[in-house]
Amino acid sequence: MALGRQAPLDMAALRDEQLHALALQRGAGAIRVLTQRYNQRLYRVCWGILRNEADAEEAVQDAYVKAFTASASFEGHASYATWLTRIAINEALERRRAAQRRARLLEREGITEMAEYRARLADGPISHGSPEEIAARAEVAQRLQAAVARLPEMYRTVFVLRDVEGVSVEEAAAALGVPEQTVKTRLFRARRRLQQILEPDLRAALQEAFPFGGERCAALTEKVLARLSPRQEGEKS
């Protein structure tokens, strides 16, 4: 009696640790499942550190490449998710440190360029980032402006002077003809009221914040596979 063919391995049913073992052997199927499981978490963590979409995606790629090579070893002291997240955090932190080093270098060697950039900032907001980022910033600004408009006048004026215009407590007190402590008290109450006004919208928005799925998720997975492919010893799945 002939033996039947062995059923294909159901990657989605495997535990993280089992998938990791296959990923270390460049198993494309295992890598796809792991990246699909963790892309959004790692992206959100990296974005929280870097606050830049492109930098966050690159940090996630670097984290996966490190995790799926011999340079990183999962020993089971923590959960796989925690271990992988820690790698991503370290990659993001290193990118941020590198950016800070570059900024300091520019301060020392590119004073003219930095001065020009600061002048542009002083002239007004600079539109940069993806269309989604620009639209998100515009929506936040619109909601904040509407919330400030709902403040009582005495709180709104202090808020605009201190938090929007950036004047000192002393200057605000002098402009309004009130004691400095009154300025501090009104600003505290203005911020608290703004938080109360904005909290419902923010809570709802957080449920959909930092999305990372669909085509972006799939594209990142393919980039990780492409970076690992030169070291392939034969695709295993």
Smallest CA-to-CA distance from 193 within 181, 182, 204, 185 is with 185
Give residue 22's pLDDT: 92
Give residue 101's pLDDT: 83
Give residue 129's pLDDT: 62
Give residue 149's pLDDT: 84
Paired residues of 27 in beta bridges: 236
Distances (CA, A) of 141 to 12, 64, 89, 171, 198: 42, 35, 29, 25, 12
Smallest CA-to-CA distance from 221 within 234, 208, 212, 233 is with 212
User: What is the set of domains in the chain, with CATH numbers?
Assistant: 12-126 (1.10.1740.10), 127-210 (1.10.10.10)
Q: Within 10 Å of residue 159's Cβ, how many Cβ atoms?
A: 21
- State the Cα torsion 113-114-115-120 to the nearest 10°: 90
Give residue 1's pLDDT: 42
Average pLDDT per 10 consecutive residues for the chain, totaling 237 residues? 62 92 91 93 87 90 91 77 88 90 66 43 52 70 82 83 82 84 94 86 67 84 89 50
User: Could you write out the three-class secondary structure of the chain?
Assistant: CCCCCCCCCCHHHCCHHHHHHHHHCCEHHHHHHHHHHHHHHHHHHHHHHHCCHHHHHHHHHHHHHHHCCCCCCCCCCCCHHHHHHHHHHHHHHHHHHHHHHHHHHHHHHCHHHHHHHHHHHHHCCCCCCCHHHHHHHHHHHHHHHHHHHCCCHHHHHHHHHHHHCCCCHHHHHHHHCCCHHHHHHHHHHHHHHHHHHHHHHHHHHHCCCCCCCHHHHHHHHHHHHHHHHHHCCCCEC
Total residue length of the chain? 237
Paired residues of 236 in beta bridges: 27
